[in-house]
């Protein structure tokens, strides 16, 4: 997918959710059929030969492309969710945010040592949530884990939340 097409279809909302923040609204990419199909096609091309057996989507926008990509790759789909949203036994990771902490969970039986996992979310900002999910997947003993985002906000240095050996790809850097 042409990066300019993605940029052209990405909505920017100034002062959301608080003054001084420029919010990148990816819902405009999802509602545009050309963008949606193009993103799925691009992600498939990146990961089709990696042996992916599970895709982990992070609540909630990571569910959209994560689920579609899992189906296209012939892989299973795992949801990473906030506490209290998953019905079976979970494992969790608590991580620091700008103002306090947050927690993310996956089902305890969702990833095994036989899995090659792709972790997907819409946006890499500071990297805290994805780094926590990455640690959960490591706790489960996955053979390999890849990390992907639609958009990376380069000025926030989100890649610094990961060690240098983590394979991170993005479709668009802003």
Amino acid 100: pLDDT: 82
Asked if residue 124 lies in contact with residue 139, where contact means CB atoms within 8 angstroms, the answer is no
- Catalytic pick from 11, 61, 89, 93? 61
Amino acid 35: pLDDT: 96
pLDDT tens for each residue of 5-58? 999 999 999 999 999 989 999 999 999 999 999 999 999 999 999 999 999 999
Check if 72 is active-site: no
- Catalytic pick from 4, 45, 89, 98? 98
Residue with tokens 């959209």: 64
The domain ranges of the chain are 50-173
pLDDT tens for each residue of 60-73? 999 999 999 999 99
Average pLDDT over residues 158-173: 97
Name the fold adopted by 50-173.
Rossmann fold (3.40.50)
Q: Of 150, 153, 155, 159, which is closest to residue 1 (Cα–Cα)?
A: 150
88: how many CB neighbours lie within 10 A of its CB?
Answer: 8
Check if 61 is active-site: yes
Amino acid 130: pLDDT: 98
């Amino acid at each position: 997918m042409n990066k300019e097409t993605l940029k052209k279809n990405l909505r920017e909302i100034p002062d959301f959710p608080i003054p001084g923040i420029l919010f990148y609204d990816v819902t405009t990419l999802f509602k545009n059929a050309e963008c949606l199909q193009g993103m799925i096609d691009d992600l498939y091309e990146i990961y089709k030969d990696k042996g992916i057996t599970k895709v982990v989507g992070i609540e909630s926008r990571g569910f959209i492309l994560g689920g579609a990509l899992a189906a296209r790759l012939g892989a299973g789909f795992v949801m990473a969710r906030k506490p209290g949203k998953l019905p079976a036994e979970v494992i969790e990771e608590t991580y620091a945010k700008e103002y306090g902490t947050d927690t993310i969970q996956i089902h305890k039986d969702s990833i095994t040592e036989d899995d090659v996992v792709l972790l997907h979310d819409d946006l890499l900002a500071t990297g805290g949530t994805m780094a926590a999910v990455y640690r959960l997947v490591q706790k489960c003993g996955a053979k390999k884990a890849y990390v992907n985002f639609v958009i990376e906000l380069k000025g926030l240095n989100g890649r610094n939340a990961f060690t240098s050996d983590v394979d991170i790809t993005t479709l668009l850097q802003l």
